[in-house]
Structure 1
Amino acid sequence: MSERSQARVWVMRAAFCALVLVILFFQILPLQTQPTRWAPPDLLIGFAFAWSVRRPEFVPPLMLAALLLLADLLLQRPPGLYAALVLLACENLKGRARVLRASTLAAELATVAMLMVSVAVVYRLVLTVMVIDTAPLGLSLLQLGLTILSYPIVVLITHSIMRVRKTGPGDIETAGGRI
Structure 2
Amino acid sequence: MNKPSQIHLWLMRAAFCVLVLMILFFQLLPLQTQPGQWAPPDLLIGFAFAWSVRRPEFVPPLMLAALLLLADLLLQRPPGLYAALVLLACENLKGRARALRASTLVAELLTAAMLMIGVAIAYRLVLKLMLIDTAPMGLSLLQLGLTILSYPIVVLVTHGIMRVRKTGPGDLETAGGRI
Shorter-chain TM range is over 0.9
Q: Give structure 2 stretches of 5+ with no counterpart.
A: none
Q: Which residue of 1 aligns with 2:16?
A: 16
Q: Which residue of 2 aligns with 1:153?
A: 153
Alignment of 1:113-124 (within 5 A): 113-124=113-124
1:105 aligned partner, one-letter code = L
Q: Which residue of 2 aligns with 1:106?
A: 106
Normalised TM-score (structure 2): 0.99
The count of residues paired between Structure 1 and Structure 2 equals: 179
Match of 1:85, SS state, is helix
Shift of 1:2: 2.0
User: C-alpha deviations, 1:35-79, integer Å up to 9, x for none?
Assistant: 110000000000000000000000000000000000000000000
Alignment of 1:18-167 (within 5 A): 18-167=18-167
Shift of 1:175: 1.1
Pairing 1:5–2:5 present: yes
Pairing 1:174–2:170 present: no
Q: Give the ranges of 4+ consecutive aligned residues of structure 1 lying more than 2 Å apart after TM superposition.
A: none
Q: CA RMSD in A?
A: 0.6
1:9 aligned partner, one-letter code = L
Shift of 1:124: 0.1
Q: Give structure 1 stretches of 5+ with no counterpart.
A: none
CA distance in 1, matches of 2:9, 2:111: 25
User: C-alpha deviations, 1:116-175, integer Å up to 9, x for none?
Assistant: 000000000000000000000000000000000000000000000000000000100111
